[in-house]
Chains A and B, each alone.
Chain A
Amino acid sequence: MITLDKRPQPSRLWTIATPLLAVVLTMVCGGLLFAALGKNPVVTIRTIFLDPLFSEFAWYYRPQLLIKGAPLVLIAIGLSFGFRAGIWNIGAEGQYIVGAICGAAVGLAFYPVESALIFPLMVLAAALGGIAWGMIPGVLRVKFGTNEILVSLMLVYVAEQLLAAMALGRLRNPQGMGFPGSRNLAQYPSATSWINESAGMHWGIVAAFIAVIFAYIALSRHIFGFQVRLSGQSPRAARFAGVNPGLLVLVCMGISGGLAGLAGLFEVAGPAGQISIDFNAGYGFTAIIVAFLGRLHPVGILLAGGLMALTYIGGEIAQSNLGLPGAAIQLLQGMLLFFLLAVDLLTNYRVRLRKSEVA
């Protein structure tokens, strides 16, 4: 008979060990799934988790990991503040889109002028755009008590319509022969976020690392981090400690919206290159998984972002080289979150085996 005893305090050991255990369990169950699909499980797992790092063409994949992981980390860092404080911004995808539109619009407005000021202005516009989009659910919650989960999620769909309208209308490439999509910002030297394309280095990657460092300092060393954590654990205690809950909502929505907007800009001005109808590829939603996989801790998020990028890139290699269906990769990513939530139990509970006693 298995029983669960609540731990007086979450186990420190398991807090760190559960994500690793979840990864191992995912590999085991993923392997079983691949075996059931008629693939060699060891080869498949190796292809997904190791080939991007150590195969013959790792020199190409390693920078790609940074490119794929950077927006995830940047957005997830922003989300982690709110999530810690119990403020659920589910609409990072929308803030990502609006940031990209605002930033790209500034860049395109200057085309074809070359100036070192253009890119910083685009960054500023993107951050403001993302913040503004995040402020809508934030202000509505503070003023009218609406549910920020619903409002921020709904605004994703509004942002997608806005994106389509921009790609077809105001931002459309005048030399694009009537096809939707803006000019390619990656080919506009003053506006591109690439630092070195062949090395896979763009400003978004730099920004992601800076965000990790700042978030780490803010959460562990600064009064703001204390307020965020306290509000999440005990809103009442936080109020006594002088935390203004409305202000905290706005600040957290602003941080997550701003960082998501920045991620959108770095993506649109670099790897994606242009505003197109379906420019967004779900980073804003995947970042939610990354934030939780990383335990809402900056360093954890960095690692989780890398792991997620690994499954994307390794998954593509497995599809192409081993003929694995695309849905199997999505299953694997789903398993990862599922196991993480499941083994979370070990952090808060002690599992004991007991002989069943006669009552």
Chain B
Amino acid sequence: MTIKTLLAGAGIALALGTAAFADAHGPTKLGFVYVGPVGDGGWTYEHNKGRLAVEAHFGDAVETVFVESVPEGPDAERVMTQMALQGADLIFTTSFGFMDPTINVAAKFPDVKFEHATGYKRADNVSTYSARFYEGRAIQGHIAGQMTQSNIIGYIASYPIPEVIRGINSAFVHAREVNPDVEFKIIWAYTWFDPAKEAESAKVLIEQGADVILQHTDSTAPQAAAQAAGDVVTFGQASDMAEFAPFPRVSSIIDDWAPYYIARTQAVIDGTWESKDTWDGIGPGMVGIGEITDAVPAEIKASAEALRDRIASGEYHPFTGPLNKQDGSAWLAAGETADDGTLAGMNFYVEGLTGEIPQ
């Protein structure tokens, strides 16, 4: 960092210090930066539900603002700066790609708290939070492995980052567990939200014989494509996507950010906010499993719910050995569970998956 940028940061901080002082007694102001539109029906939709829950919980004590469909890059930095300048006390940046912009802006506004979803860079005024989506993926894999007739499961992946790879591995391990013949076909869409691209990916997978589609993208387009195909099973991603239940959507992974957002807002109001890393799963309720519909046979539904409860109670970890890496080398010995560090940076497939992670 050069002297010039330091000075610039100091100048902005000074301007903000006076601004914050001026409305110290007003409502606590929260900003939300979204990567997609609030109507995506998935990822951003759930974050926005969390924002609305904060408003409902605190009433007039908080004021929230948001900007949707913010590109990951310099535009994100400007949106965050703008929120900070306008007096935001706490800013949630809800996409992995907002990581560096969040850190940059946070350095210029030491009095504003930042919460970055799914990233790994923290600072004194930057916390990170994420959900253990892979716990939900285990249940998806468990159901998917038994629902498939063709033994081909299609997977629409977004970006080859650890979060996504973790989900693929978790789903695959649990699909293989119940069905040794199952295979995964993975398409990398390189987008979080692009209904046209997602629909196209789903169609390609269906043409290749997949009769179950898992997705790590945020729109309901794959659900619609499956519905059009007729006999293809899907799962809601990030949001319940219940409008496609009971079929093709047979269950879902739901992100429930509301409790976390309320707790962090309370911490700012109380003055007890501290930078930390939160990674919660089914147990604390950050990850929810949407209702398993009657399209799933009763015994599969029962075993899936049992798996859910065992994960929630901490009795079972989705990555429990013996597990090997794709190249056949040993990863986890029998009974051993994966540590969070390995999971956080996961950049390899488990044994049995075909294809390569894009490099």
Contacts and interface: CB of A to CB of B under 8 A. Distances in A.
Interface of A: 57, 60-61, 64, 67-68, 160, 164-165, 168-169, 177-180, 184, 187, 189, 196-198, 267, 271-274, 276-279, 281-282, 312-313, 316-317, 319-321, 323, 325-327
A278 B37 contact: no
Interface stretch (B159-167, B240-248, B296-304): B159-167
Interface of B: 1-2, 4-5, 7-8, 11-12, 31, 37-38, 65-75, 77-79, 81-83, 85-86, 97, 100, 120, 159-162, 190-191, 345, 347, 358-359
11 contacts: A57-B86, A60-B82, A177-B345, A178-B345, A198-B8, A272-B74, A312-B75, A316-B82, A319-B67, A319-B68, A320-B31
A168 B71 contact: no
A320 B85 contact: no
Given A189-B2, A196-B4, A198-B8, A320 B74 contact: no
A57 B82 contact: yes
A196 B79 CA distance: 20
A276 B72 CA distance: 9
A320 B97 contact: no
B161 A198 contact: no
A198 B12 CA distance: 9
Nearest to B71: A281
A198 B10 CA distance: 11
A316 B358 contact: no
A106 B157 CA distance: 31
B82 A168 contact: no
A197 B100 contact: no
B238 to A, nearest CB: 19
B1 A187 contact: yes
B5 A198 contact: yes
Given A187-B1, A198-B11, A180 B161 contact: yes
Which of A60, A179, A317: most chain B CB closer than 10 A?
A179
Given A178-B347, A198-B7, A281-B73, A64 B86 contact: no
B4 A198 contact: yes
A319 B162 CA distance: 32
Which of B74, B83, B120, B347: most chain A CB closer than 10 A?
B74
B79 A320 contact: yes
Given A177-B345, A180-B159, A326-B68, A316 B78 contact: yes
B43 to A, nearest CB: 15
A164 B1 CA distance: 28
A316 B79 contact: yes
A326 B79 contact: no
B100 A184 contact: yes
